[in-house]
Amino acid sequence: MGSVLIVEDDPTVSEVVAGYLDRAGFAVRRAADGPAALRAAEEQRPDLVVLDLMLPGMDGLEVCRRLRARERGADPRGGQGGAPPLPPVPVIMLTARGDEDDRILGLEVGADDYVTKPFSPRELVLRVQSVLRRAVPAPPAAGPRLTAAGLSLDPAARRVSKDGQELALTLREFDLLAYFMRNPGQVCDRERLMREVWGWDFGDLSTVTVHVRRLRGKIEDDPASPRLIQTVWGAGYRFDAHPAPAAPATAPRTEDGHA
């Protein structure tokens, strides 16, 4: 069914989760800290990472940042890197119940989903299966290539580019963009996006907000003044397939009133 890397410093939790995933048919590897997790992911890329937020030394947020930096081809320590980009590995983050800020930070650095502790191992297995189903490249029946405003999205290959340059989107970011591009001009509230993109009938709506913000950061020329994904206040978001050109900067005027 796929390989899962569990990154958890509590040996009891790690063993229980590994047992459930193993019985569900997954090939499981385990790491107890951040550096070990990064080494394991580099030696053999997993299909999915279950990542505890609270790790000794290097926490889960930093592990996720470095995983995403490697996938982009950047040096995770801040250099330019130069390696070719890799498809992002889905990450499910384990967080403490009530730590909303931590959950949002996890999504901000590139986690695809989260499960709060204490959790049911069966629920986690279902989340893993759900995320991996979405990560599998869709067959050609997934529909034609979508194009709008310099964006080109291939649903079958799960690849997207802007002005000819390939973008590194996470699993949820890709699905979110595909949904917007299939429904241009429609106002989509967060409940609808959570239902249609995440497949959840209920959940933390800040998950949608964070993913929209991250997606804007990758597809907008100016994420602070988005033109493609517009916020419709009090209603939701609208994807504009034919955005108006950005207004030119106003030239400063001299004291006599001329530009």
Q: Indicate left, alpha or beta for 236 from its phi (over 0: left) and psi (-120 to 50: alpha).
A: left
| pLDDT tier at 111, thresholds 50, 70, 90 | confident
68: its two tokens: 């995403």
Q: Are residues 31 and 54 in the same domain?
A: yes
Cβ within 8 Å of residue 169, ≥6 positions away: 88, 160, 177, 215, 218
The answer to whether residue 181 is domain-embedded is yes
Q: Are residues 130 and 25 in the same domain?
A: yes
The answer to whether residue 256 is domain-embedded is no
CA 141 from chain centre, in angstroms, equals 24
| pLDDT tier at 136, thresholds 50, 70, 90 | low
Tally of CA atoms within 13 A in the half-sphere of 193 that contains its CB: 30
Domain count, the chain: 2
Q: Are residues 175 and 116 in the same domain?
A: no
Whole-angstrom distance, CA of residue 254 vs CA of residue 115: 58
Q: Are residues 156 and 72 in the same domain?
A: no
What pLDDT does residue 140 have? Answer: 44
Q: Are residues 144 and 226 in the same domain?
A: yes
Q: Are residues 103 and 146 in the same domain?
A: no
Average pLDDT over residues 19-42: 96
Q: Are residues 12 and 130 in the same domain?
A: yes
When comparing pLDDT for 246 and 232, which is higher?
A: 232
Q: Are residues 106 and 202 in the same domain?
A: no
Q: What are phi and psi of 65, to 5 degrees?
A: -55, -45
Whole-angstrom distance, CA of residue 91 vs CA of residue 4: 10
Q: Are residues 51 and 150 in the same domain?
A: no
Q: Are residues 228 and 110 in the same domain?
A: no
Q: What is the CATH number of the domain that holds 185?
A: 1.10.10.10
What pLDDT does residue 77 have? Answer: 54
Average pLDDT over residues 120-137: 83
Average pLDDT over residues 49-58: 93
* pLDDT beyond 50 at 124: yes
What pLDDT does residue 72 have? Answer: 75
Q: Are residues 173 and 88 in the same domain?
A: no
Average pLDDT over residues 129-144: 68
State whether residue 187 is helix, strand or coil. strand
* pLDDT beyond 50 at 141: no
* pLDDT beyond 80 at 22: yes
* pLDDT beyond 60 at 139: no
* Residue-wise DSSP of 121-172: HHHHHHHHHHHHHHHSPPPGGG-PPEEETTEEEETTTTEEEETTEE----HH
The answer to whether residue 255 is domain-embedded is no
User: CB-based burial of residue 203 (10 Å sphere; 0-12 exposed, 13-18 middle, 19+ buried)?
Assistant: middle
Could you tell me whether strands 159-162 and 151-154 are parallel, antiparallel, or unpaired per DSSP bridges? antiparallel
Summary mean pLDDT of the chain:
84
Q: Are residues 113 and 187 in the same domain?
A: no
Average pLDDT over residues 224-241: 93
Domain boundary among 105, 135, 165: 135
What pLDDT does residue 247 have? Answer: 56
* pLDDT beyond 50 at 47: yes
Question: In whole angstroms, how large is the CA radius of gyration of the chain?
Answer: 20
Range of the domain at 121: 3-135
Domain boundary among 135, 168, 183: 135
User: CB-based burial of residue 171 (10 Å sphere; 0-12 exposed, 13-18 middle, 19+ buried)?
Assistant: buried
The answer to whether residue 156 is domain-embedded is yes
Q: What is the CATH number of the domain that holds 124?
A: 3.40.50.2300
Kindly report, residue by residue over 62-80, the tens digit of the pLDDT: 999 999 888 877 555 555 5
The answer to whether residue 247 is domain-embedded is no
* pLDDT beyond 60 at 137: no
The answer to whether residue 153 is domain-embedded is yes
* pLDDT beyond 70 at 259: no
